[in-house]
Amino acid sequence: MPSFQTFKDLNITFKKHPISNDLIVSKDTAAIKQSISNLLLTKTGERFFQPNLGSKIPGILFEPLDFATASLIEDEIRRVIGVYEPRVSVENISVTPDFINNGYDASFDAKILGRDDLIPLEIFLERTR
């Protein structure tokens, strides 16, 4: 009989549950989406006591808006998820420059290891100050 592992992470809103007064948790696909988004948008060295955690994407976004930079972002997404998110592997990744909105459209599937689940993820990456 297959047993499915449930993934739980604290919700980043830190709101309390109305009945139990515990912190709200994100479960399964929502937890993985939240984790991947946090990893990709965290600068390397930004977290205390974990200087290697994070990605170079926030810095790469200040490079010229072109397909070469999109390729760098794609490589960084693969690296970060491969190193820091052991629950999934990346498949079908596509990063394209969006010249109108001055950013990058990144879409990929995260395959949950040990299951047949594919989580489609889309994120718009843009420069912030």
Does residue 14 belong to any structural domain of this protein?
no
94/60 Cα distance (integer angstroms): 16
Domain residues for the domain of 108 are: 36-126
Give the pLDDT confidence of 39-86 residue by residue, as tens digits.
Answer: 999 999 998 999 999 999 999 999 999 999 999 999 999 999 999 999
Beta bridge partners of 60: none
Note the pTM of the prediction, 2 decimals: 0.83
Residue 103's domain is classified under what CATH number? 3.10.450.40
Does residue 20 lie in a domain region? no
Return the SS3 of 129: coil
* 19 within some domain: no
